[in-house]
Structures are given as C-alpha cells and as structure tokens.
Structure 1
C-alpha cells in the first residue's frame, strides 16, 4: 500500500506514513524489511524525521546491532537533525545492556554540550546499567549528581536504584536513600517496599525486612503475594519454618492468595530440614488451594528424599510425576543419579540416564559429571575418560568439574603424570584451571617429592591470577619440610603470615 501511494492520483506518502510502517515492521521482527523501507524514503525524496531515526536506532539496538544505531545517529546529524533526548536515551540503553558503561560518559558529555539535561528516564537507564554490572559505588555517585542537578526522582527510577543497591547487598544504604527521597516528597509504592523487603531477606536481615513490612502497612499499602513470598522465603532460609507457616495463614486471612512459589518455598524448607512427611502435607495444601504442583515442587521432594538416603522412595516420586502430568527435568534426574553415585549401586545411575533419554530428557553436563565422579570413585579412570571424550557426541563440552574430578582421581592413585596431561588437555580446550585443579596437582607433586614441578605449578597459578588457598600453602610447607628444604618451608610460612596480617589490617 505504501508503494502504491503517489501513483494513479493517490497522495504521495509522507514521513508519518513511513514511520507507521517502519515501527510496525520492527515490532513484527522484520528488521530487514524496515531497513529497506527506510532506504526507500531517500529514493522517494521523503525526509526522515526524529521519529524515523529514533525508531530505526531503537530497532537496531534491540536487535543487537549497537554500532548500526550509532551510525544512524551520525547520519541523522549529517542530514541536519540534532539528536533529542529520546535518541540519547535509546543509545544509552544500548550501551548499558551491552555492559559498555565506560562509554556512557561521552554520550552524557555530548548531551551537556547540546545544553540537554538528562531526565528521570536517562537516570533510570544508567542506574539499571550499573546495577547489571554490580557497581553500587557508581550508582551512589550518580545518585549524588542526580540530586545536585535538581532532577525530580520518581518511584520508577527509585525502584531501579534501590534494586541495584539491594542486589549488591547494600540494603541498609538503600533504605537510607529511600528515606532521603521520602523526606524530599517521594511517596513510596508497593514495588519500592517489596524491593527493600526482598533485599533484607536475601541478606538474612529479617529484622530489617519485618521493620520495612511494618512501615508498609502503616502507610496503608496492602502487601501482595510478592511481599509475603519474600518474607516466607527469608524465614525458611533461616529455618524458621513455623513462623513462615504463620505468615502464610496471615497472608490468606488478609485475602492474598498464595502462589505455587509460596508453597514450593515451604516444601523446599521442610525437605532441607529432613521433615519429609510435612513436604507432602504442604503439597496437599497446595492442591486444596486450587494450585497444581510443578516440576520444582516435586523436584524439591525428590532431592530431599535423596539427601536422606531414601532413593527407592525418590524413584517412586519420579515415576508418579508422569502420572500427575508433570514432566521431570534434568535437575530431578540428577538428584537421583547423584544419590546412586554417593550411596550406590553405581550401575543404577547409568540405567537412570538411559531412562532419562527414553523419556525425552537430554542429560546435561552435570549429569555426565556425576557419572564421571561415580566411575572415578570406583577407580574406573579410563571409563571416566571415555565419557569426557564422548561428550561432543551429545553436543556438550567438558567443563572444569569434568576434568577436576578425573585429575583428582589420578592424583589420589599416584598417577601424577596422567593428571598433568589432563590439565594440559583442559587448557587446549580453553578450560581454565581452578583452585581445585592446582590443589590436587600441587598435593600430588608435593607428596611425590617433585618439588621443582610443584614450585613451577605454583608460579603458573599466581601468573594466572588464581589465588592460592591456605590448604595449598600448607601442602607446600609440609612437602618442603618432608624433603629437607626447611628454608623454603620457613619462607612460605612467613609469606602466609604476612598475607594473613595484611588481610586483618584490611
């Protein structure tokens, strides 16, 4: 229709017509077509306006092509259009999502040179970007500039700022920020209070969480299921399950319907504390409330039975999941496979993996790592290595856990050369050695009296910025002492003491 406009007496298309079509194409995921229509504007002598450019920039950035967004900004300027606040906000959002926070300063300086003041939405974007990077210090610095510039902060921007601080564990600071904004006239919302409550619960500061809960109610803001779920989760993590059950009753008395997550939290808590019968009581209560248990509900119960050595019961629950029309996932199978590896019989773990496949569930790298662990426990090193070599057939790649398990088994049985060879293979496939890798190898080399190789590996660990544990230092001191090098043993003791003193001073 757009291309028929301007022909056969029809009025020619204008920028508005093109803007509607271009926006629709981006929304429909047809970015390539949007670009073609945009190019057609030039061919038909229709000048793109701010809306056109901003729509195109936004589309490219959301599609993952940040550089195309900046090229369009430059093209916009060449055609005599100055970027506006929306242009800058879209570009800033793209930089923040890409984690390129260092480049935001140049854009902000450019805005300032155009005598353009960042608005509340600009700060929301920046707070969100810094939050993704876990940079609470920069968030607080930006907040200071925010206040200095006299920008009025709204509840949306406030909630993003508080969420970032809470995610970084700075919940008490978040509450201070909120109080300063309330003093300046901000009216807190349910979302803001829920953010603080969840932050306190995540850090285990239940007193702060319930204090905020009280403030919320004193302002006549009704708690919702998000509020109660956060508090119930906090209580369960602290193993105050009776209090959590009481809060569930309060939740229902106040007309707030529990969710599947509410009951799953309680099931998990009872499972972790070994109260297996109560898991089923909560499961029944959940169904009485008209909620269908999901894979997380049953997965928590399966895991609880496995941790308590009740593998046949866990398998029975797994089978029952199919009758209840709940498809188990890899995590549920892994819990039982792990139990077989720990308690035996190990061959049942392999049988369950085959059953897992026949039910259409693809084993994960965790699944295969558990099988590797089981084989290594039984000294079947070559069979465990075969699994690592066959992972590519399952479109999986080994990870540090795969190799560390095998390296540990080789070192335990005195085959240090094989363990060192496995480490080289790790590096060949781009897998970095971890503290555990170095721990096992240094322990093996030290026990065998191969002190020069032990020292070389220790130096490589330091060069790769892997911080040695106290256990590694103790292994090396013991090896030096055992093989008659007391000078080096004493030097390392002094180094350990110095580092401990420096840590205490910090």
Structure 2
C-alpha cells in the first residue's frame, strides 16, 4: 500500500495539475484522513519522501514544518534522506534548520543523522560546532562510527590542525574502530598539504600494516606532495609502483606529474606524459593544460604553447585566467607584444576577468617594447575596474619613463606613488634614480617627497631634503613649509616649527589655513592653550577663516 501511495503521489506531484503549495495538500490529506478511516500517517510520510526524491527540497522542508503543526512527523529515515540531500546540494542553512526542528520535535537522531551534520559542519569549516555535536551524540548514547571520525579528521586536517588529527586517529583506534582507506587518505592528504611528507609516508606504512590497500587517491596524493617538494624521482617511482599494482592513474595523477616536471624544467618528460595521457584516454583538464602552457613558455617554446592553447579552445575546454597569463607572458618574452595584447583583448571579450597579476604582466610587456602610452592607458583601466596598482607595476612604468627620458611623466607617477603610505621608500628610490640619470627634480617633486616623509614621521629625512632643495637654488613653496611645520608640531618640536615659520615670513609666504591649524593643534596637544588661542586670534585677524578642526581644537 505504501509503495502504491508513493506512485500515485509522485504522479500527482509531477503533473501540471499539482497544487503549487505542498502545505495545501498536507491540509487536504489531514482533512480527509477521517473520511478514509485511515489510522496511520504513512501517506504523509509518503508525500514527504516523494518531494525529497523528486529534488523539490524546499517544498519537502515546508511539508515537514506543516506536518509538525498537525503533530505528524515523517519517519527518521525520510528525514535523514532530506537532510543528506540538502547538505549535498549546498543548502547548509536549510540543513541546520531541519536538524534543529527535528531535535525540538523530540525526534531521536541516529548515527546517520549525526554523521550528515558533522560532515556538513566540517566542510563549512565550523569545527567548533562539529566537535560540540560529536560530544553531544556520545553523551546521548549514540556511538560514533568510522564515518564520524573520518569527517572530523578531514575537517581538522584541511585547517592544518594536525595534532588534533592524530589525536582523533588514536581515539578512533582506542574505541575499537578500524581506520579505512578514506581515513588514511584524509590523514595523508593533510600532511602532504602542509608539507610534512615524512609523516605522510609514516601513515602509508601504517596503512599497509593495517592491511588497508592504497587506492588511486592515496597514490595521487603522495605523488602530488612529492612533486610540490621537487622530489620528482620519488614521484616517478610511486607512479611506476601504482601501475605495477594495477591501479590506473587518473587526470589528477597525470596533472601532478606534468606540473612537477614543468616546474623542474623537464619539459620533454611532461610532453611524454601528456601523450601517454591522451593515448590512455584520460581527459586533459584545464589544470593540466595550464601547467603545460606555462612550462612551454618558460622554455621559450611559445609557438608550441600557442598550438596547445588553440587546441584546448577548439576542444571545448574552458581556458582560464592563469593559462592566458602564462601565454601572454610568453608572447611578451618572445618579443611579440602584438600577439600578447591581442590575446589579452580576446580574453576580456570572452568574459575572463584579469587580475592584478595579469595587468602587471601586460604593463611590463608594453613597457619593454616602449609602448608607454598604452601601458599608462592600462593603468587607468585597472583603476576603473577597482584595482590599485602595486609597487611592482608603478616601478615598472616609472623605470620605463626614466629610460625614455620622459621626466615629466615619471614625476607624475612619482607624485601618484606618494599618495600611498607604503610607497614612500619606492618614491625615494625613484627620486634618487632621477638624479643619477641626470634628471633634475623640480620643486613639485621635492615637495611631494617631503610631504610623504612627514606623513610617516621621517622628519630627519624630510629636513635633509628640504635643505638640499634650498642648496639647489629652489626656494621651498608653501606646501613644503606647511608639511614640515605639521610634522614637527605633531612630534612636539615646537621650536623647529616656529623657526620654519620665521623662514616662511622672510620669504614673504603667509600662513594659510593648513599651517595655522597645524600650529593650533600642536599647541593644544602640548598643553599651551593660551598660545593656541593667540594663534587662533592672529589667524582671524589675518583674514583666514577657521574651519571646524581649528574651532573644535
């Protein structure tokens, strides 16, 4: 009867005549249950199960809550089915709500229920909640199993909590549970990720002693770990041993080796593996191709890399930003800027968004061939898309301007660099480089650097630059004076600040709002309130209108 009811409900739910809200059907079934002389609630559970099996998970959740209002609950098996499907479909919030509602309805979770939730929490990185649930299930007399421990070991391992991984492993064995291949793979993986290869091999030995056979995942994980450590000979030995044991390498195994060979400069071996991969019918993925394209470009074989790239595009494999960056860099290295820029434009047309690394690559390439106007345009494009050029990009472009002896453009970037606190060192470097190349910094350049140094409290350096400016026959302007006055007042150097004021007045430069504000704030901070009031009166008397900062101070 239950099976037949399920078929009828499935047909109703799937039909176009199905009512849009499952709660209406729950109400209808509840209202008609007396007319049918039905003593059980199996039909409600059947409806709940049908909605879950058809993938209508939100409707199934609504059905559960509607049933609760009538004090009718689905079977625990049906709830577990929905809980698992919600977790696997990425609906973590709904999973948690359903679990909480199950508990508040006095339903008794099984180990299967707890395993679903602990695994979900571990995958979400919520290890604290997972551990709380683990303790709670034991307190309520529900014994964990191997699956429970596997989820916790994997969760802690991926967050690098390796001591907790080992503790759980020992607890698991102490409780009489036998670790399986999933347990060992999770442990080996976390030790490989965190570059503790000897530990990973220690667990491989224990795995074999426990008569648990390593599988493709085990070998692939270890091969990948060895390749990342540059231990290619050992990785190849494992690859051979894997085949000897009758295990067929998958795309991830091949990719790990290809990437390792490319990074080690063993391009021929990488290409042989690609040919072997194709021969065995193992599908090339985007990670494999990216590693190969990058390796070919680094060896100067850009034409071959272009052929691989084109073949991948035609095969339908979606190229990614890393692959494009490798090939664009290769084109620029090969003195073929037109093809590099063309690929960059095609990439954007296809909706692949450049990151700061790719922008930097193209700026570098354009600067190398003297296309400074295009590089400057790209800098503006970066900023329009919300990217802030880093010091490497600024340095690349400024160096190119210096070499092209375009002092004004170099100075323009120099002033832009000073807008960022981290870049004063870079700006100082470029300032000195200008002088080394015979380019005389102007007043604007000196002033910008003095202001930047004062903002980061490097008053000694700022003073030296100020005096150097005077010695070069360039009278400091109001901004240079005000910057030094502000810096000295903030450091409590009142005598130096007033000495600078005297020099300003000797040159016929009047204090402006910023200079007066610096004096007033500095005097207040030094506890000289009467002098601050006198300065404010002088300011007003000289026709300078105070702002909010001056008045509040």
Q: Is the TM value for this pair above 0.5?
A: yes
TM-superposed deviation, 1:417: 4.4
**For residues 381 and 463 of structure 2, what CA distance do their matches in structure 1 show?**
47
Could you say which residue in structure 2 is the equivalent of 1:179? 205
Q: Deviations over 1:329-348 (max 9, x none)?
A: 31455531343356644321
* 1:64 matched to 2:93: yes
Verify the 8 A CA contact 2:258 2:291 in the aligned structure 1. yes
* 1:294 matched to 2:319: yes
Between 124-133 and 301-310, the greater mean CA deviation after superposition: 301-310
Verify the 8 A CA contact 1:330 1:364 in the aligned structure 2. no
Q: Deviations over 1:133-158 (max 9, x none)?
A: 12223212222222222322232333
TM-superposed deviation, 1:351: 3.5
Change (3 A) 1:373 1:406: farther
Verify the 8 A CA contact 2:382 2:389 in the aligned structure 1. no
Query: Of the candidates 29, 34, 47, which is equivalent to residue 5 of structure 1?
Result: 29
* Structure 2, unpaired ranges of 5+: 1-24, 400-409, 432-445, 465-486, 492-553
Could you say which residue in structure 2 is the equivalent of 1:464? none
TM-superposed deviation, 1:268: 0.5
Change (3 A) 1:326 1:99: closer
Verify the 8 A CA contact 1:411 1:419 in the aligned structure 2. no
Change (3 A) 1:263 1:371: closer
**For residues 68 and 139 of structure 2, what CA distance do their matches in structure 1 show?**
30
Change (3 A) 1:157 1:383: same
Could you say which residue in structure 2 is the equivalent of 1:112? 138
TM-superposed deviation, 1:367: 6.2
Query: Of the candidates 347, 367, 379, which is equivalent to residue 373 of structure 2?
Result: 347
**For residues 366 and 307 of structure 1, what CA distance do their matches in structure 2 show?**
25
Verify the 8 A CA contact 2:337 2:365 in the aligned structure 1. yes
Q: Deviations over 1:263-320 (max 9, x none)?
A: 43222112123333442354467689x5768345444211222345542341244456
TM-superposed deviation, 1:446: 6.5
Could you say which residue in structure 2 is the equivalent of 1:397? none
Could you say which residue in structure 2 is the equivalent of 1:380? 412
**For residues 224 and 277 of structure 1, what CA distance do their matches in structure 2 show?**
28
Change (3 A) 1:445 1:103: farther
Could you say which residue in structure 1 is the equivalent of 2:10? none
**For residues 133 and 107 of structure 1, what CA distance do their matches in structure 2 show?**
19
Query: Of the candidates 154, 161, 164, which is equivalent to residue 138 of structure 1?
Result: 164
The correspondence of residues 111-260 of structure 1 with structure 2, limited to 5 A, is 111-260=137-286
The correspondence of residues 264-413 of structure 1 with structure 2, limited to 5 A, is 264-280=290-306, 282-283=308-309, 294-295=319-320, 296-307=322-333, 310-318=336-344, 328-331=352-355, 335-340=361-366, 344-352=370-378, 363=385, 365=387, 378-380=410-412, 384=416, 404-405=422-423, 408-409=426-427
TM-superposed deviation, 1:177: 0.9
Change (3 A) 1:371 1:213: closer
SS at match of 1:3: helix
SS at match of 1:330: coil
**For residues 71 and 319 of structure 1, what CA distance do their matches in structure 2 show?**
51
SS at match of 1:300: helix
TM-superposed deviation, 1:114: 3.3
TM-score relative to the length of structure 1: 0.66
Verify the 8 A CA contact 2:414 2:427 in the aligned structure 1. no
**For residues 75 and 347 of structure 2, what CA distance do their matches in structure 1 show?**
58
Verify the 8 A CA contact 1:318 1:328 in the aligned structure 2. no
CA RMSD, Structure 1 to Structure 2 (Å): 4.3
Change (3 A) 1:158 1:3: farther
TM-superposed deviation, 1:412: 6.0
Verify the 8 A CA contact 1:232 1:244 in the aligned structure 2. yes
**For residues 382 and 219 of structure 1, what CA distance do their matches in structure 2 show?**
63
Verify the 8 A CA contact 1:294 1:326 in the aligned structure 2. no
* 1:418 matched to 2:449: no
Q: Deviations over 1:89-114 (max 9, x none)?
A: 23323432343324444433333333
Change (3 A) 1:341 1:135: farther
**For residues 383 and 139 of structure 1, what CA distance do their matches in structure 2 show?**
52
Verify the 8 A CA contact 2:119 2:151 in the aligned structure 1. yes
Q: Deviations over 1:379-412 (max 9, x none)?
A: 32597489x9xxxxxxxxxxxxx76347743786
SS at match of 2:411: coil
Change (3 A) 1:344 1:118: farther
Verify the 8 A CA contact 2:297 2:327 in the aligned structure 1. yes
TM-superposed deviation, 1:374: 6.7
Verify the 8 A CA contact 1:342 1:374 in the aligned structure 2. no
Change (3 A) 1:445 1:84: farther
TM-superposed deviation, 1:197: 1.1
* Structure 1, unpaired ranges of 5+: 389-401, 422-440, 458-506
Verify the 8 A CA contact 1:259 1:291 in the aligned structure 2. no
**For residues 174 and 317 of structure 1, what CA distance do their matches in structure 2 show?**
42
**For residues 332 and 303 of structure 2, what CA distance do their matches in structure 1 show?**
14
SS at match of 1:181: helix
